[in-house]
């Protein structure tokens, strides 16, 4: 992990309220899908905000990094107002990341809403490594769906919207189980409420592991403040250093005490 000052080369709205900031830095290390950065959001916001790495492209002399973020409060509002040429102060890369088994052929990826942020990077790496990728992308309406034209074309895409304005109607959790039998590995990112439903759906079944990226409130991102502690079947874990990727069935969802 290192502290990096990265220059903004683009910061624009992708879907209503969701922005993609592209950054470049000569110092950024290689990072794995599922890892995150802690972003300094100006002097008025004391705490850095955790953001998943959305894309990473290594060029000969620099690295281009993209973050995808939804404006939900002061920090993300501040981020959305940053201009090209300004610098962002990042601690990166942090956390464990998703692990693709090299022997897996078919990967099933689930992205609920802004959960596409880390799942995109995973899909990009998986396609590069020759895996076959099916992505189920869920949103409330068609306008909120991550644009298909930005996704790697090799992906087999299934879209789900709650109001049925694009793709299948309903929630992602209404549809994902019909695709799991053909998948060697399953990876997901979405809100805690989505994980809680998924955990109930596979509870008691001999279901293959589902690896999720868990987004909770974080104070430091470095294992110091214990604000991100969750209960798991293997004891207490810090989401920032032991995660954010966990096995769905390892989290004691009933004892999480988190809101969405």
Ligand X SMILES: Cc1cc2nc3c(=O)[nH]c(=O)nc-3n(C[C@H](O)[C@H](O)[C@H](O)COP(=O)(O)OP(=O)(O)OC[C@H]3O[C@@H](n4cnc5c(N)ncnc54)[C@H](O)[C@@H]3O)c2cc1C
Question: Any contact of residue 122 with ligand FES (CB under 6 A)?
Answer: no
Question: Any contact of residue 46 with ligand FES (CB under 6 A)?
Answer: no
Q: Which residue is nearest to ligand X (CB)?
A: 73
CA distance 4 to 210: 32
CA distances from 133 to 138, 180, 216 (A): 16, 12, 27
Q: Which does 75 bind (CB under 5 to 8 A by kind): ligand FES, ligand X, none?
A: ligand X
Distance spanning both ends of the chain, measured CA to CA: 28
Q: Which does 252 bind (CB under 5 to 8 A by kind): ligand FES, ligand X, none?
A: none
Question: Any contact of residue 133 with ligand FES (CB under 6 A)?
Answer: no
Question: Any contact of residue 91 with ligand FES (CB under 6 A)?
Answer: no
Q: Is 169 helix (H, G, I), strand (E, B) or coil?
A: strand
Q: Alpha helices of 51-178 — where are they, by DSSP H?
A: 74-80, 116-128
Q: Which of 129, 177, 224, 236 is close enough to bind ligand FES by CB under 6 A?
A: 224
Q: C-beta of 214: minimal distance to ligand FES in Å?
A: 11
CA dihedral 182, 128, 68, 116 (to 10 degrees): 0
Residue whose entry in the numeric block shows the structure tokens 């304005």: 165
Question: Any contact of residue 227 with ligand FES (CB under 6 A)?
Answer: yes
Q: Which does 226 bind (CB under 5 to 8 A by kind): ligand X, ligand FES, none?
A: ligand FES
**Residue ranges binding ligand FES (CB under 6 A):** 218-221, 223-228, 238, 240
């Amino acid at each position: 992990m290192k502290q990096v000052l990265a220059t903004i080369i683009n910061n624009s709205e992708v879907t209503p309220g969701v922005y993609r900031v592209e950054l470049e830095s000569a110092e950024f290390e290689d990072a794995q899908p599922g890892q995150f950065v802690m972003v300094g959001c100006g002097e008025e916001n004391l705490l850095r905000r955790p953001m998943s790495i959305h894309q990473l492209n290594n060029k000969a002399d620099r690295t281009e990094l993209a973050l995808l973020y939804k404006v939900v409060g002061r920090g993300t509002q501040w981020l959305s107002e940053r201009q090209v040429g300004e610098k962002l102060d990042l601690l990166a890369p942090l956390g464990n990341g998703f692990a693709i088994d090299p022997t897996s052929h078919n990967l099933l990826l689930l992205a609920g809403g802004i959960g596409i942020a880390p799942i995109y990077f995973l899909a990009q790496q998986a396609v590069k490594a020759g895996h076959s990728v099916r992505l189920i992308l869920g949103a409330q309406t068609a306008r909120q769906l991550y644009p298909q034209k930005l996704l790697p074309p090799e992906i087999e895409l299934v879209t789900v919207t709650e109001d049925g304005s694009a793709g299948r109607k309903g929630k992602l959790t209404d549809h994902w189980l019909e695709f799991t039998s053909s998948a060697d590995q399953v990876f997901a990112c979405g809100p805690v409420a989505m994980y809680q439903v998924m955990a109930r759906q596979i509870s008691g079944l001999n279901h293959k592991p589902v690896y999720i990226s868990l987004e909770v409130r974080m104070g430091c991102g470095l294992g110091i403040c214990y604000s991100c502690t969750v209960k798991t079947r293997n004891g207490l874990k810090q989401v920032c250093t032991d995660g954010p990727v966990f096995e769905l069935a390892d989290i004691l969802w009933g004892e999480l005490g988190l809101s969405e």
